[in-house]
């Protein structure tokens, strides 16, 4: 059926532990079009994409691929039938070369044996198609997040995918990498490939999409051509209400004494002569591009990375040379940017994760309610099954049980929706009001301006400027660049 949509979903439904997470979802992804799927964390987007990508079987409904019945038994089955799923958590093997990653499913052969020359030639051609000028022999671990994203898409191109699903593809990308990705999406659509694009960056959705579908509580609540949508209407459809103010009002706070001090902290090639003071009840931001040294500084402060010179003090006492465990005992907390890799016990439930750094049990139900963590059963449901936003709330919540003196947050709202962002921002403001000093690292200048009392700017490992009061966004970005 040449005129059939690339993909059709009819009445899809799915439940976990008897609780429905997807209800009667019907959609159509046309050839050469970009269908954007948006919704709050927990709305059902990941479940829907996992069904399309062969990760999960639906409990109800059916799918058609170019008019033919489609019920993939596994991700590999889906991939071989032309549906490529580029996950938010990229799936390259870091210890293998780019070429090996591209052809793991089927290596080019000659006379029954793997053909190294054909592998290199085909890999080079695929990389050129996605705009990468990197040797195919390069190990995947040496690639930037943006380059890894493009390698994943190159694999889909090489498999002649007819449907490409992109899940939060820009969360770890620089502006330049994001621009290259958008150009590539336009190229894929021009070739007749159907692109399903999932993102919380609504400005990207409005720029790229041909049509937009909104999920809420597992059901489609609105859909239509992209030109009919505005950011405000999208937000209202996603959360079921109008959100006039994403950032909570900044209360009048009398700042307390210094709680975290860095004096001349240096590590060759990483950070250079960084000095600052964070006070109790203060929210202090660090702006800067990826690779500026922001994350490395946070890891040094938490004791995860060494520093060659300088001193750090917590509540007036030196913690230089103190191990991470000792810093935690003295009141330091850190929510990393990679919550899935080193921020959570993914196979444990919500309650065990929330009590990972304390033995408090009685306050856990109230904490789940306070943070708005959506879970079928906080005692039993693995955190792995939660949406990205709910995972992030758990990662932050485990530190709230001990009221830390200092909380370091690295990209606290990356990959989560506007409603979840509101809840995270509210938790930050409340924690600061209770006396905690908070250090926030973020790539979003608007976010820092919305919640911070002061903003520091880092570039190439150096602390260049400190802004306070009425923030000048242009000057902050100029300093970062």
**Structural domains of the chain ordered from first start:** 7-92+143-239 (3.40.50.300), 258-480 (3.40.50.300)
245 pLDDT tier (thresholds 50, 70, 90)? low
Q: What is the pTM of this model?
A: 0.61
Report whether pLDDT(305) > 80. Answer: yes
| Helix intervals (H) in 130-220 | 145-158, 175-190, 202-208
Quote the percentage of the chain above a pLDDT of 90.
37
What are the residues facing 163 on neighbouring strands? Answer: 83, 194
Q: Average per-residue pLDDT in the chain?
A: 85
pLDDT at 280: 96
Higher per-residue confidence, 66 vs 113: 66
Structure-block tokens of residue 326: 């000792």
pLDDT at 111: 65
Higher per-residue confidence, 450 vs 35: 35
DSSP 363-394: THHHHHHHHT---S-TTTSBGGGS-HHHHHHH
CB-based contact 35:195 (threshold 8 Å): yes
* pLDDT tens figures, 54-70: 989 999 999 999 999 99
DSSP helix/strand/coil, 305 = coil
pLDDT at 1: 47
pLDDT at 186: 92
pLDDT at 416: 75
Over residues 160-176, the mean pLDDT reads 80
Q: List Cα–Cα distances, 240 to 40, 248, 421, in angstroms.
A: 10, 19, 15
Give the other-Cβ count within 10 Å of 339's Cβ. 23
Structure-block tokens of residue 442: 């973020």
Question: What dihedral do alpha carbons 27, 88, 144, 146 form, nearest 10°?
Answer: 20
Q: Which long-range CB contacts under 8 A does 121-127 form with residues at least 24 apart? A: 122/158, 123/98, 123/99, 126/102, 126/154, 126/155, 126/157, 126/158, 127/98, 127/151, 127/154
Higher per-residue confidence, 358 vs 269: 269
* pLDDT tens figures, 397-410: 888 877 899 999 99
pLDDT at 446: 80
Q: What are residue 175's phi and psi, to 5 degrees?
A: -60, -40
Report whether pLDDT(323) > 90. Answer: yes
| CA 45 distance to own-chain centroid | 14
CB-based contact 251:429 (threshold 8 Å): yes
* pLDDT tens figures, 286-297: 988 767 888 899
* pLDDT tens figures, 178-222: 788 888 899 899 999 999 999 877 888 999 999 999 998 889 999
* pLDDT tens figures, 352-393: 888 877 766 677 888 888 888 888 888 888 888 887 778 888
H or E stretch at 50:
helix 45-52
Over residues 304-327, the mean pLDDT reads 93
């Amino acid at each position: 059926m040449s005129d059939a949509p690339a993909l059709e979903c009819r009445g899809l439904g799915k439940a976990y532990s008897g609780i429905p997470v997807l209800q009667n979802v019907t959609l159509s992804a046309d050839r050469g079009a970009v269908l954007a799927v948006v919704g709050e964390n927990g709305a059902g987007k990941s479940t829907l994409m996992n069904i399309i990508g062969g990760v999960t079987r639906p409990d109800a409904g059916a799918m058609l691929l170019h008019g033919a019945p489609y019920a993939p038994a596994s991700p590999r089955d889906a991939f071989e039938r032309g549906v490529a799923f580029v996950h938010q958590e990229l799936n390259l093997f870091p210890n293998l070369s780019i070429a090996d990653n591209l052809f793991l499913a089927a290596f080019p052969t000659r006379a029954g044996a793997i053909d190294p020359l054909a592998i290199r030639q085909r890999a080079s051609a695929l990389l050129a198609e996605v705009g990468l000028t990197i040797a195919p022999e390069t190990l995947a671990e040496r690639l930037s997040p943006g380059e890894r994203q493009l390698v994943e898409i190159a694999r889909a191109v090489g498999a002649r995918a007819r449907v490409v699903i992109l899940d939060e593809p820009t969360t770890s990308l620089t502006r330049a990498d994001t621009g290259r990705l958008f150009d590539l999406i336009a190229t894929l659509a021009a070739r007749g490939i159907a692109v399903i694009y999932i993102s919380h960056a609504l400005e990207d959705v409005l720029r790229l999409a041909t049509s937009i579908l909104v999920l809420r509580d597992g059901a489609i609540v609105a859909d239509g051509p992209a030109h009919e949508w505005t950011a405000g209407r999208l937000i209202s459809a996603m959360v079921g209400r109008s959100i006039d103010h994403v950032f909570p009002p900044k209360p009048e706070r009398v700042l307390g004494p210094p709680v975290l001090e860095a004096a001349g902290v240096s590590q060759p090639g990483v950070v250079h002569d960084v000095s600052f003071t964070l006070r109790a009840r203060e929210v202090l931001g660090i702006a800067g591009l990826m690779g500026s040294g922001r994350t490395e500084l946070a890891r040094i402060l938490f004791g995860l990375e060494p520093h060659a010179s300088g001193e750090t003090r917590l509540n007036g006492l030196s913690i230089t040379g103190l191990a991470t465990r000792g810093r935690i005992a003295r009141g330091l907390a850190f929510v990393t940017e990679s919550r899935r890799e080193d921020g959570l016990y993914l196979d444990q439930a919500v309650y065990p994760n929330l009590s990972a750094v304390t033995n408090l049990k009685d306050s856990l139900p109230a904490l789940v309610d306070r943070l708005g963590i959506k879970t079928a059963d906080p005692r039993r449901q693995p955190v792995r099954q939660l949406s990205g936003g709910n995972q992030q709330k758990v990662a932050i919540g485990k530190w709230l049980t001990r009221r830390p003196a200092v909380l370091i947050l690295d990209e606290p709202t990356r990959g989560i929706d506007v409603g979840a962002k509101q809840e995270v921002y509210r938790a930050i403001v409340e924690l600061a009001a209770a006396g905690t000093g908070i250090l926030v690292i973020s790539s979003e200048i608007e976010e820092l301006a919305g919640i911070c009392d002061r903003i520091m700017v880092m570039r190439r490992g150096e602390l260049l400027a400190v802004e306070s009061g009425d923030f000048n966004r242009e000057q902050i970005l100029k300093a970062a660049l």
